[in-house]
Structure 1
Amino acid sequence: MPVPDPSDVPAVHREVRLAARPERELTERHFAVCEAPVPRPVPGQVLVRTRVMAVTAAMRTQLTGVRLPMPSFVPGEALWGSAVGEVVAAPGGGFTPGELVHHPYGWREFAVVEEGRVRRLAPDALPSLAAHLSQGATAWGALRRAAGVRPGDTVFVSGAAGGVGSLAGQLARRLGARRVVGSTSSERKASRLRAELGYDDTIVRGAGPIEEQLRRAAPDGIDVLLDTVGGEQLAAALAVARPDARFALVGALSSQLGEGGGAVAPVELDAGLIITRRVALRGFGLYAHPDLAEEWTGEFGRGLRDGSLVFPHTLLKGIEQVPRALCELVQGRHIGAVLVEL
């Protein structure tokens, strides 16, 4: 990658702002692509030119303004999220122009970031910049560390066509699972999960009661749940859990992508089943595992290069496509990660 010339930095750049909070269906009208002065870094900061950014389901909830364990987006201000770019300027000397980095301020062409929030990326670690924005680290950590998948396990992944789930089926296999079942929103997606992404069977939301479908797909019960959805699917998984099952909870799509983007996914869990079957429920978040990024990058890079892993994703081009990218993700139009190349 050529070293950026600071003299090439424009005076203004484009960023995507929240124009209005959505009350019901999310549309591109809720966003505005605006010009703004390119920010200037001071010692302790770096200026990064964003190359690729990700949109995720959690962003739908952050648009609403409800109380969350993370900050909500603010009308009139630029949004943020995971991105990969190159350092343009680093007056503090902690980084070198031209270095490839991960940073948390996507949704803009240039970003000033505190040095402590920038993570160096090895240029040859993965075959593409986009691969650095996979959500596979969450799937890998949840299956390996939180749930501890063992050879012979039956694994159920809810939301299997999303950024986490589209890699989780493959990774469960990699860790020795005997049978892998995933849920999704359409038969079109279910067919691809079975054909390409490591799933033996699938459950389609709306095709009948989730618990009945899961009992058919996993007649001997499940040993592991990787849950990105919550709600009815979490309750169904508990109903068919085998003794000493391990549940890793990483998301709540049933609320994040629901009408109004509410923050709560109400579900009643049978405490008697949890106790008598000794089911372990554990939340998992990458923020608590800072060492996992390097471990995952090594595993992912090997898998992509030898063909044992694939990275399902959609890549749109141009910052003006960012609102569309999030809207299409919320509508469930894609399989895997949804990314935008700036």
Structure 2
Amino acid sequence: MVIAEVYILQNYFHGLPKQSDFKLIEEELPPLKDGEFLAEALYLSVDPYMRVKFKDLKLGSTFFGYQVAKITESKSKEYPIGTNIVGAFGWRSHTIYDGTSKLFAIPPVWKIPDLGDFPLSLALGIVGRVGNTAYFGCLDLLRPKNGETLVVSGAGGGVGSHVGQIGKLNGCKVVGITGSDEKGEWLVNELQFDHFINYKKPNFLETLKKYTADGVDCYFDNTGGEISANVITRMNTYGRVAVCGLISNYNATEPRAAFPIDTYILRLQLKVEGFMVHRWADRWEEGIMQNLQWLKEGKLKYKETVTCGFENVVSAFIGMLKGDNVGKAVVKVE
């Protein structure tokens, strides 16, 4: 008999999520049927999109999310014991899966390729869903070219730090916007961003103008709000904007003021496109394998903020939404 620990959504969030919005319960799992396998969680992912997507859940439901897991029992020929996988199982310690879920547009389960000496947790980040978000959002939508200027907001997180490196691989000048000097120095000193801007400092707009003296050709937007409005005023004609997230608005309890950017979009003939990574479900392995190749070649670097303990997943989630993480935030189940 296997007892799974499961976090369920107890209350809908109002503002920043709280510990009391979740409840940890135990669930007795039944014996395996033919074609099923039992997966034990090794790492859980906490991501900004969860703050918005929670509205799709009914109260009392398992809180969603991806995890790295190891198959410990199996009656499936495709997934034998010992296989390491990424699964859309949510925040739970053990999961029985029958291989037939159609709830997710991207693969609900995929096998982790050989990562060599790199940690399995990267399958939630640079060689996982986060990496594919950066890969397809940057290359397919922004199409950065040699000599262009790429600005990335939320640059200190898993997606933003990855996008900036892809920009450098394509010969761009890269400016990262982040919320602390610590994150910014990592971007410049380790990831070879050309400049960083701490948006919390009062001279943000002046610094943005300084570092984008020749304008902005590509903007990868993770934040929305006033930051993005300021960047769009710096765009060049025919500039491209990929809208990946709106984290500046996620915890707002009152409507935010709208910023007048429509004039710039029209006058500069900008291409502004929002996206969800499941658009590229049919090319999923392409992104995974290309990012893994770049990683093994030393062309991509990463940083993780790892929180230890299944019991600490909620605090890790809240901390990520407050910007406490550098790089990808993950929870190591112990």
SS in 1 for 2:45: strand
Deviations 1:112-171 (A, max 9, x none): 335143222224477221111111211111111111011111000011111211212211
Aligned equivalents of 2:258, 2:190: Cα separation in 1: 32
> Which stretches in structure 1 are left out of the alignment for 5+ residues?
1-9, 66-70
Aligned equivalents of 2:4, 2:158: Cα separation in 1: 29
Number of the residue aligned with 1:232 = 226
Report if the CA contact (8 A) 2:4-2:95 is conserved.
no
Deviations 1:79-115 (A, max 9, x none): 1201121234454544323222211113111113351
Number of the residue aligned with 2:97 = 113
Deviations 1:240-294 (A, max 9, x none): 10111111111111112x334x8x7664343332223221111222101014432
Q: Which residue, out of 187, 198, 207, partners 1:213? A: 207
Deviations 1:44-66 (A, max 9, x none): 65432221110011222344x4x
Matched, 1:281 2:272: yes
Q: Which residue, out of 159, 183, 194, partners 1:189? A: 183
Matched, 1:333 2:328: no
| Percentage identity across paired residues of the two chains | 24
Instruction: Give the TM-score, by structure 1 length.
Output: 0.85
Report if the CA contact (8 A) 1:100-1:123 is conserved.
no
| Superposition map of 1:253-292 within 5 A | 253-256=247-250, 258-260=251-253, 267-292=258-283
Number of the residue aligned with 2:291 = 300
**Structure 2 vs 1, CA of residues 92 and 187 (structure 1 numbering), >3 Å: closer, same or farther?**
closer
Cα-Cα RMSD: 2.4
> Which stretches in structure 2 are left out of the alignment for 5+ residues?
101-107
Q: Which residue, out of 92, 98, 115, partners 2:82? A: 98
Report if the CA contact (8 A) 1:146-1:248 is conserved.
yes
Report if the CA contact (8 A) 1:157-1:181 is conserved.
yes
Aligned equivalents of 2:278, 2:302: Cα separation in 1: 22
| Superposition map of 1:1-342 within 5 A | 10-43=1-34, 45-63=36-54, 65=55, 71-72=56-57, 74-91=58-75, 93-116=77-100, 117-124=108-115, 127-134=118-125, 135-177=130-172, 179-208=173-202, 210-256=204-250, 258-260=251-253, 267-342=258-333
Report if the CA contact (8 A) 2:115-2:292 is conserved.
no
Report if the CA contact (8 A) 2:223-2:248 is conserved.
yes
Aligned equivalents of 1:272, 1:332: Cα separation in 2: 31
Deviations 1:277-327 (A, max 9, x none): 221111222101014432222232233323222121112222111111111
Instruction: Give the TM-score, by structure 2 length.
Output: 0.87
Report if the CA contact (8 A) 1:40-1:112 is conserved.
no
Report if the CA contact (8 A) 2:38-2:96 is conserved.
yes
